[in-house]
Chain A
Amino acid sequence: DTEVTQTPKHLVMGMTNKKSLKCEQHMGHRAMYWYKQKAKKPPELMFVYSYEKLSINESVPSRFSPECPNSSLLNLHLHALQPEDSALYLCASSPIWGSGNYEQYFGPGTRLTVT
């Protein structure tokens, strides 16, 4: 099973709302990622978790708050977002993070619209 799942598929939220995105994998991977993708652009890395600890934060605004409750689950908590945060949010996982030759697997994404 090489599947990364994400819920919800679509999310519309107001600027004062609080919502969460969820990502799950059952491949035994110990690294999980959040990416943001705007239309016609490649994905941009936001966060990396390795062994349930935050390893990389690419200077993401605090209105995005990641959480890794266990090795299979990754959440992204959203609060006080701006319309420019509307994008496709992609989750990915890999066996490890850092040095080495390994593959990343991506989920189907959550289409977020901030009104």
Chain B
Amino acid sequence: KQEVTQIPAALSVPEGENLVLNCSFTDSAIYNLQWFRQDPGKGLTSLLLIQSSQREQTSGRLNASLDKSSGRSTLYIAASQPGDSATYLCAVRASSNTGKLIFGQGTTLQVKP
């Protein structure tokens, strides 16, 4: 059974700092991995999708990496801003699981001015 873990559960950093969010999964048989952002009481915004054959994806100040063999992904945020404060969720689509998205518990990020 695929399980997804995100560490840390919460993170508080000063503005301008570079930071890394971690996501690990137990079954390497995946189609892809998505990183989402969720503001309080809002829906999920897809940030990056990494296909199983890819090693990383970049969008602006965000860079996501994928090491399928070790079951790990990281989301790197450069030069963090207060507007980056939100909960970040990673989710994998397991190829053995009819395509369901399996979510981690999320990392809640606070960037202080």
Contact B44 A106 (CB under 8 A): yes
- Chain B interface size range: 20 to 34
Count A-B contacts at CB 8 Å: 55
Question: How far apart sit A92 and B104, CA to CA, in the bound complex (Å)?
Answer: 18
Contact B31 A101 (CB under 8 A): yes
Contact A106 B99 (CB under 8 A): no
Question: How far apart sit A95 and B3, CA to CA, in the bound complex (Å)?
Answer: 25
Contact A106 B105 (CB under 8 A): no
Within 8 A of B (CB), among A83-115: 88, 90, 92, 97-109, 111
Do A109 and B42 form a contact, CB below 8 Å, given A42-B106, A98-B98, A104-B34? yes
Contact A108 B46 (CB under 8 A): no
B36 located at the interface, meaning its Cβ lies under 8 Å from any Cβ of chain A in the complex: yes
Question: How far apart sit A30 and B28, CA to CA, in the bound complex (Å)?
Answer: 27
| A residues near B99, Cβ cutoff 8 Å | 97-100
Residue of A nearest to B106 (CB): A42
Do A100 and B103 form a contact, CB below 8 Å, given A90-B43, A106-B36, A106-B45? no
| B residues near A101, Cβ cutoff 8 Å | 31-32, 51-52, 93
B41 located at the interface, meaning its Cβ lies under 8 Å from any Cβ of chain A in the complex: yes
Question: How far apart sit A97 and B45, CA to CA, in the bound complex (Å)?
Answer: 20
A76 located at the interface, meaning its Cβ lies under 8 Å from any Cβ of chain B in the complex: no
| B residues near A106, Cβ cutoff 8 Å | 36, 43-46
Residue of B nearest to A98 (CB): B99
Contact A42 B41 (CB under 8 A): no
Contact A105 B46 (CB under 8 A): yes
Distance (whole angstroms) from the CB of B32 to the closest CB of chain A: 5
B89 located at the interface, meaning its Cβ lies under 8 Å from any Cβ of chain A in the complex: yes
B58 located at the interface, meaning its Cβ lies under 8 Å from any Cβ of chain A in the complex: no
